Structure formats: structure tokens, C-alpha cells
Copies of this chain bind each other. A is one copy, B any other.
Amino acid sequence: MISLTEENYLKAMFNIADEKGEVSVNDLSKTLNIKMPTVNSMMKKLADKKLVHYESYKPLRLTEKGKKEAGLIIRKHRLTEMFLVDKMKLGWEDVHDIAEQIEHIQSIVFFEKMDELLDYPKIDPHGSPIPDKHGKIIFKEYKKLSDCQSGDTVKLSAVIHSSSDFLKFLSNRQMHLGIKIKIKSIEPFDKSITISYPKSHTETISNIVAERLLVEKI
């Protein structure tokens, strides 16, 4: 049995590995707001449970079992976010905190029903892929808007580091997933980008924002 606390460590490891490739005790300590010695002893416990490969002073790695379990928790999280937005009409900036709690619900039927009602969605409201029933995730090959060139036309496909404030910022400017964005110009000094998108919006967005917007060429 995996406790709620252990689930949170697994999920954090999965997300950090996804983002930075490697996971350290320090990363976990920062993302979970838990002191390093606590993280350290939890890693040993998860190693006993065959969820983590642990060797002193080496980077942490999830085992296959650990990856699967983490994937299943992320599946529940993202399915829930989709359900909250699509079926319960909550704003995409409100759903993360609720999903963070619902992801720990122990009930197979509950999440299967969600999946069915949503017609087996592949992505969540922020464009992140939803792992399958075996915890397997297909990583999408998106590009950051900040890495595009002047003149490019792209589709907004996902957002990352999506805090509630950031999502509200986007909503306020009618920026949502799926819109077609044309890059008018890039300011060399601070890398801010002037874009146009439906319906006849023109905005200049900072590099900080552009780094959080994932796009596809069209």
C-alpha cells in the first residue's frame, strides 16, 4: 500500500524527472517544501518498497514500478482537471488545487466513469498528456514560443508552470489552447514578443510568458 504522502513524493519525482531529466534530494525538498533529511529517509523507504532506486550521493531514479504508480496518480490528477473544467464548468485556473486532492481518491470505478464521461481524453485542460491506464505517458514534442522566429505562425498547444495567476493572465487576454498565433516581431533587447491572434488581438508578451507557452508549427 502506498500512503498519500508517498504518492506525493512519487508524483513530484515524476514531474521533476520530466522537466529536468534528473531528480535530487534538494529538488524534492524545494518542490514539496519538506526538509532534506525528511526527503532522504522517505527515499530509503520508497527504495525498500521497490519504487525508487537509491544510492548515497547519486541522483534519484524511479523504478519501473515507481514510474507506473506515479503515472497513475498523474492520470487521476489530469483526468480530474479535465472533468472539473469540462463537466463541472470550473475555470482552468481553479482546478489544480482540487485535483491535487482528488487524485488520492481510491476507487477504480470513479475514475473509469470520469474517463468514459469525458470520452477518453488524451490531454488535460493545460495541454498536458494524460497517462493511460497502465501509467504510460506519451510526451509531446512541443516547442516554446520563446524559441520561435519572427514571422512564424503556430498553434498554442499547452502551457507549463501554470500557476493560477498565470492562467488568469492568459484568460484575461483571450488566450486559450488551440488559438493560432502569428509572431509579428521579437525585441532583441529583452526578447519580448509581439504577437497577433484571434480575434484581432495584438499583444506584446514578455520572454517569461513566452517560455511558458508551448506551440506547434502549422
CB within 8 Å of B: which residues of A?
Answer: 84, 87-90, 94, 97-98, 101-102, 104-107, 109-110, 113-114, 117
Cβ of A89: which chain B residues have Cβ within 8 Å of it? 113, 117
Which of B84, B98, B105, B117 meets A88, CB within 8 Å?
Answer: B117
| Cβ B107 vs Cβ A98 within 8 A | yes
Which of B88, B101, B102, B105 meets A113, CB within 8 Å?
Answer: B88
CB nearest neighbor in B for A102? B105
State in angstroms the CA–CA spacing of A102 and B101 once bound together: 9
Cβ of A102: which chain B residues have Cβ within 8 Å of it? 102, 105
| Cβ A98 vs Cβ B87 within 8 A | no
| Cβ A97 vs Cβ B107 within 8 A | yes
CB nearest neighbor in B for A110? B98
State in angstroms the CA–CA spacing of A105 and B101 once bound together: 6
Cβ of A94: which chain B residues have Cβ within 8 Å of it? 109
| Minimum C-beta distance from A190 to chain B (A) | 37
A-B contacts, 10 listed (Cβ < 8 Å): A84-B110, A88-B113, A88-B117, A89-B117, A90-B109, A90-B110, A90-B113, A94-B109, A98-B105, A98-B107
Cβ of A109: which chain B residues have Cβ within 8 Å of it? 90, 94, 98
| Minimum C-beta distance from A73 to chain B (A) | 15
| Cβ B97 vs Cβ A101 within 8 A | no
Cβ of A113: which chain B residues have Cβ within 8 Å of it? 88-90
| Minimum C-beta distance from A111 to chain B (A) | 10
| Cβ A101 vs Cβ B107 within 8 A | yes
| Cβ A87 vs Cβ B90 within 8 A | no
| Minimum C-beta distance from A193 to chain B (A) | 34
